[in-house]
Amino acid sequence: MYSHSTQIRVRYGETDQMGYVYYGHYALYYEVGRVEAIRSMGLTYRDLEEQGILMPVVRLEAKYIQPARYDDLLTISTVIDTLPDRFIVFLVEIRNENNEVLNKAKVTLCFRDAESGNQIRTPLSITEKLKPYFS
């Protein structure tokens, strides 16, 4: 299992009239978690794109438990609990400063060849970085 955490502070523009984080912004928080998890492995989305690899989201499941509010410091924990083959699944949990779970998500991405658009297997650059966590 591979795990990484990062933090983000809720900005005023991310909240709705009730003072809660607008539900659509959680997908952006999940992306921050994914990008930073991949970066912590020594890769970046830019590296992958330069290798001709695209990673579109194909499924997103979210559970809203409690609202996040303006100026909350959120911890985004991102876990990969299965070595990817054709899809990579990120399990995300967002907590506030009181360590209360606010949101959980499961985000599934596939790998596509940028030139042909065809789905491909997990690139070796990712598999090699993750293998030690699944021995």
Which residues are known to be catalytic? Answer: 16
Quick count: other Cβ atoms within 10 Å of Cβ 5? 15
- The identity of residue 121, as a single letter, is R
Tokens of 5: 């955490």
Residues 65, 40: Cα–Cα separation, whole Å: 28
User: Is residue 5 a contact partner of residue 93, using CB atoms and an 8 Å limit?
Assistant: no
